[in-house]
C-alpha cells in the first residue's frame, strides 16, 4: 500500500529565497519525494541511471540552462499517437493504471479542513517518471482510476501549485504538456522535478493584462503568459488558470504550463523589491503550435521545461555547440504566428475579464 501523505495550508512554505549561500531544511514533502525517488532508483525501477548531468549556462540574456541527457532521448517509452488536443482516454493504450505498483511514491490528500468538498477527485498519486529529466522527476496523477484524458482540471492545477508551496527548495518545479504539446501519455498527469539552477522566468518582467486575475504577459519570453499565486489565493488563481486552459482546449490550441517559485510580478521594478524573494509561485502558460506525430528536433524537444529555459539536450554535439540564437530559433518554430498570438491574447483577456 502506498504511503498516504496528508497536508494542509499550514504546511505551505512561504519564506523561500533564491540564495545559494543558504540551504533550507527539507520539508516532509521534500523528504518523502526525494527518499522515495532515490530508493526506486537504487532498486532499478528506472529505464536508466540518471547520475549527475553535465550542465552549462548558455551565454546570453536568457541564461538558458543546458543539460546533456542522452539516455532520455534513446530509452524513454515511445510516445502514444496523438491526433487531437481533445482526444479521449483510451484504456487499451498505456496509462498509469498499468504501471508497476512499486513505482508509486505516495498518495497526496489534502486535509478536509482545507479542501473544497465540492472538488473531485481529492487524491493525487505521485509516482516516479521512469525516464527522468532530473533528480526527483515524478508524475502527479489525479486519481488514476477516474481515467481523465490529458486536459487540465482545476484540481490538477491547484494540487500542482500546492506541491510547489509544500517544498522548501526553490528549484522544485511542476509542469504540464497538453496533447499536441509533446504529452506522450493521454492520461491526466503533471511533471515535478528538482533543478538546482536559476531560471530567468523566476524574475522576468511582465505586462499586466487582467490584474484582478493576476494575468500578465511575459515580456522577454515570446508567446508566454504568467499567473502569480500567493499561499492565500491558490484556489482563486487555479480557477483563473483553468479558465485560460479550458479556452485553449476549446480552441484546439496546444499549450505547456510551468510552475516555479518566483518573484512577484514586476518586483524588480518596485523600489526596495527583493529580487531573491521566492515566496509565491509563478505559473507560466505557453500557447503554441500543435505538434502531432514524431516531428522532433534533433537538439531538444520543445515542451514545458524548454519553454521555461531548461534544455535537456539529446546529443553531445548540440549540447556543446548550441548558442542562445540557435535555441531561440528552435523555440520560435513552435510558437503561434504573431497575428494569431495577438488575437488569442485579446480573447484570453476578455475571457478572464468576463466580457
The catalytic residue positions are 189
Count CB atoms within 10 A of the CB of residue 241.
Answer: 27
Measure the N-to-C terminal CA separation of the chain; round to a whole number of Å: 48
Gap between the Cα atoms of 129 and 82, Å rounded: 20
Do residues 288 and 308 make contact, with C-beta atoms less than 8 angstroms apart?
no
Gap between the Cα atoms of 282 and 270, Å rounded: 17
Gap between the Cα atoms of 23 and 195, Å rounded: 14
Non-local (6+) Cβ contacts of 319 within 8 A are 54, 56, 66, 67, 68, 313
Non-local (6+) Cβ contacts of 224 within 8 A are 201, 217, 218, 284, 285, 286, 307
Beta strands 104-110 and 3-7 are: parallel
CA neighbours closer than 13 Å in the CB half-sphere of residue 107: 13
Count CB atoms within 10 A of the CB of residue 99.
Answer: 18
The three-state secondary structure class of 59 is coil
Amino acid at each position: 500500500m502506498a504511503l498516504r501523505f496528508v497536508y494542509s495550508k499550514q504546511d505551505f512554505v512561504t519564506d523561500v529565497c533564491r540564495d545559494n549561500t543558504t540551504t533550507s531544511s527539507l520539508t516532509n514533502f521534500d523528504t518523502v519525494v526525494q527518499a522515495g525517488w532515490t530508493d526506486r532508483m537504487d532498486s532499478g525501477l528506472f529505464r536508466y541511471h540518471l547520475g549527475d548531468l553535465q550542465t552549462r549556462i548558455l551565454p546570453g540574456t536568457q541564461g538558458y540552462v543546458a543539460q546533456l541527457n542522452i539516455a532520455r532521448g534513446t530509452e524513454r517509452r515511445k510516445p502514444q499517437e496523438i491526433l487531437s488536443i481533445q482526444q479521449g482516454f483510451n484504456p487499451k493504450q498505456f496509462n498509469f493504471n498499468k504501471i508497476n505498483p512499486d513505482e508509486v511514491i505516495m498518495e497526496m490528500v489534502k486535509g478536509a479542513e482545507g479542501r473544497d468538498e465540492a472538488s473531485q477527485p481529492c487524491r493525487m498519486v505521485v509516482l516516479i517518471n521512469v525516464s527522468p529529466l532530473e533528480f526527483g522527476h515524478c508524475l502527479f496523477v489525479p486519481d488514476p482510476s477516474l481515467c481523465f484524458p490529458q486536459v487540465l482540471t482545476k484540481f490538477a492545477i491547484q494540487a500542482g501549485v500546492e506541491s510547489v508551496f509544500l517544498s522548501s527548495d526553490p528549484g522544485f518545479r511542476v509542469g504540464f504538456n497538453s496533447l499536441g504539446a509533446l504529452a506522450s501519455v493521454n492520461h491526466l498527469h503533471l511533471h515535478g522535478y528538482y533543478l538546482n539552477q536559476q531560471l530567468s522566468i523566476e524574475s522576468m518582467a511582465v505586462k499586466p493584462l487582467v490584474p484582478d486575475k493576476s494575468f500578465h504577459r511575459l515580456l522577454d519570453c515570446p508567446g508566454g503568459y504568467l499567473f502569480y499565486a500567493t499561499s492565500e489565493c491558490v484556489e482563486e488563481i487555479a480557477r483563473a488558470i483553468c479558465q485560460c486552459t479550458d479556452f485553449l482546449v476549446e480552441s484546439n490550441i496546444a499549450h505547456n504550463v510551468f510552475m516555479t517559485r518566483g518573484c512577484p510580478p514586476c518586483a524588480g521594478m518596485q523600489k526596495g523589491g527583493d529580487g531573491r524573494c521566492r515566496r509565491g509561485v509563478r505559473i507560466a502558460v505557453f500557447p503554441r503550435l500543435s505538434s502531432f506525430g514524431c516531428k522532433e528536433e534533433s537538439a531538444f524537444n520543445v515542451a514545458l521545461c524548454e519553454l521555461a529555459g531548461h534544455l535537456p539536450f539529446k546529443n553531445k554535439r548540440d549540447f556543446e555547440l548550441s548558442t542562445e540564437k540557435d535555441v531561440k530559433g528552435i523555440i520560435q518554430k513552435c510558437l503561434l504566428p504573431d497575428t494569431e498570438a495577438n488575437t488569442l491574447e485579446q480573447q484570453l483577456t476578455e475571457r478572464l475579464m468576463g466580457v
